[in-house]
Structure 1
Amino acid sequence: MLLPINDDNPLEGITHAYVTWALIAVNIAVFVLLQQGYKPEIDVASAFGYGAIPAVVTHAAVLPVEYERLPAELTLVSYMFLHGGWLHLAGNMAFLWVFGDNVEDALGHVRFLAFYLVCGVAGGLAHALAMPDSAAPLVGASAGISGLVGAYLMLHPNVRIWVLMFMRVPVRIPAIWPLGAWIAFQIWSLATAGDQDTAWWAHIGGLLTGAVLVIFLRRKGVPLWVMTRDGTPEGNPPV
């Protein structure tokens, strides 16, 4: 397992990644207030009320009245702010912390927020369409995070990042290697029907959406594939 912990990639278009920080704060606040196990019935109600349930989203089933909190369509946004546990939350927030600021830098604050939410919605829809009869609630920021991974690779594939290999050994390598390995693992897990508790289609949907959207949403003058391994500028001219 590879966990990103830092990247050598200073901001150029913004001074502070306000939206990234806000998203991290909201995710943590929601988890602490609604999902900390103070009352198990609240945890269950939160997951079913605000999680994206494929059978409900596709109208193959109806959610019991006592769990209804939002229209099914809006749960494709709300599910992104729920998590299945501290490790789930911490892993997603690590990715958001390391990669979110540079994607926000490339897009600008408002477009970055829209980008992140659209990636999450696209991932939720991909999961719902792949498993239309599933009654299990989808929770987690993973689809939005996957969108960040796709965008970061389009922007900075060779910027060196620090990652923890096997959660123990810190190494500094070009982003394309750990993120490429992460993508390969998602595809392999989907192809081999791996861990059924993980929404692989949500990850793939968010990833592809992010890789495409960043081409059109990046600020004028922001190139793709911007850095070589030694840090000299290189990239495609902006379109």
Structure 2
Amino acid sequence: MFIPLRDDNSLKSIAFPYVNVSLIVLNIIVFILEVGVGDQSVVASFGVTPSVLLGTGSLVSPDGTLTEGINIAASPTLITYMFLHADVFHLAGNMLFLWVFGDNVEDAMGHVRYLVFYLACGVFAGLTHSWMVPDSTLPLIGASGAVAGVIAAYLMLHPRVNVWVLAFKFIPLRISAGLALGIWIALQVIMIALADVGPTAWWAHIGGLIAGAVLIVFMRRPGVRLFDRDLSLA
């Protein structure tokens, strides 16, 4: 419904969002390589496949013993999946949200903690998706879960900041982040309630949102206030 363009929110603690920009560049590079290879085995190998990750059947280890539960060999895909994308529109949408909102979340945390935060949100998103559809054999790819964590953190930090968006893809509006991101989050919940799974991993978005909302409370810099309380004091 809303396509974010930019926010009225300058950086306060860091000079430049090195980690956020690096994540965007890395996602673009990986997508170029993914398209260049042009082999669906890349998605199968590096995406998160719930039935493989969770080991819904018995797994045979190299020494011939049977194990059950999470497939340790598949666990690295909880990191790699978030750097793959289905097409250029999938990539562009995720990177646009990350560009607009990620720098301020990095500003609130610092570079290293932001990187840990981003990856943790992506991992929890992948796990949530897998827990909800444990028998699925379709690989999950995309940064949407990690970006959902960034969106939740931004909403917790700056709900009153104004954001320029395109409504319905072509109407420019300047509205509060709380409204823009709140509607986006509500849409994710509605799609889950309607059980409209389709090609979109809605549960991964929910998992990322939960992780982001919880982690920002503990990972923000000392003195960084939630919910734009500094604006209220001003």
TM surpasses 0.5: yes
Separation (CA, whole Å) in 2 of partners of 1:170 and 1:2? 9
**Matched length:** 220
Q: Hey, what does 1:55 align to over in structure 2?
A: 51
2:9 is equivalent to residue 16 of structure 1:
no
1:30 matched to 2:30? The reply is yes
User: How far apart, CA to CA, are the structure 2 residues paired with 1:84 and 1:184?
Assistant: 24
State yes or no: 1:165 paired with 2:161. Answer: no
Deviation at 1:195, TM superposition (A): 4.0
Unaligned 5+ residue runs, structure 2? 60-71
Counterpart-to-counterpart distance in 1, 2:222 and 2:90: 35
- Tell me, in whole angstroms, the C-alpha distance in 2 between the residues paired with 1:234 and 1:15: 25
- 1:98 is matched with which residue: 78, 97, 100? 100
- C-alpha displacement of 1:234: 2.2
SS in structure 1 of the partner of residue 200 of structure 2: coil
Distance 1:95 1:39 in 2: 27
Indicate whether 1:234 and 2:219 are aligned.
Answer: no
Per-residue deviation, residues 141-196 of structure 1 (Å, max 9, x unmatched): 00000001110010000100011111111111000111000011000000101142
1:4 equivalent to 2:7? Answer no
- C-alpha separation between the residues in 1 aligned to 2:152 and 2:37? 37
Indicate if the aligned counterparts of 1:76 and 1:121 stay in contact, CA closer than 8 A.
Answer: yes
1:71 to 64, 70, 73: 73
Aligned CA distance change for structure 1 residues 39 and 225 (closer, same or farther; 3 Å): closer
Over aligned residues, Cα RMSD in angstroms?
1.4
Query: 1:189 aligns to what?
Result: 191
Q: CA deviation at 1:46?
A: 1.0
1:40-73 C-alpha deviation (Å, 9 max, x unpaired): 4x2x0110010000001101267xxxxxxx9311
1:31-46 counterparts in 2 under 5 A?
31-34=31-34, 36=35, 38-40=36-38, 42=39, 44-46=40-42
Quick one: distance in 1 between partners of 2:74 and 2:232? 45
Aligned-partner SS, 2:222:
coil
1:58 partner letter: L
Residue identity matched to 1:10: S
Which runs of at least 4 in structure 1 moved beyond 6 Å after TM superposition? none
Matched position secondary structure for 1:120: helix
User: In the aligned structure 2, how far is the partner of 1:104 from the partner of 1:39?
Assistant: 32
> Aligned partners of 1:119 and 1:191: how far apart in 2?
22
TM-score norm. by structure 1 comes to 0.89
- Whole-angstrom CA distance in 2 between matches of 1:185 and 1:212: 20
Distance 1:234 1:90 in 2: 34
Work out the CA distance in 2 between the residues paired with 1:234 and 1:206. Answer: 28
Identify the residue that residue 62 of structure 2 maps to in structure 1.
none
| Alignment correspondent of 1:122 | 124
2:158 partner amino acid: H
Kept in 2: contact 1:225–1:234 (CA 8 A): no
TM-score by length of 2: 0.91
Return the offset for 1:233: 1.8
Residue in 1 that maps onto 2:141: 139
Aligned residue in 2 for 1:66: none
Provide the rounded CA distance (Å) in 2 between the counterparts of 1:21 and 1:120: 17
Query: How far off is 1:39 after superposition?
Result: 5.0
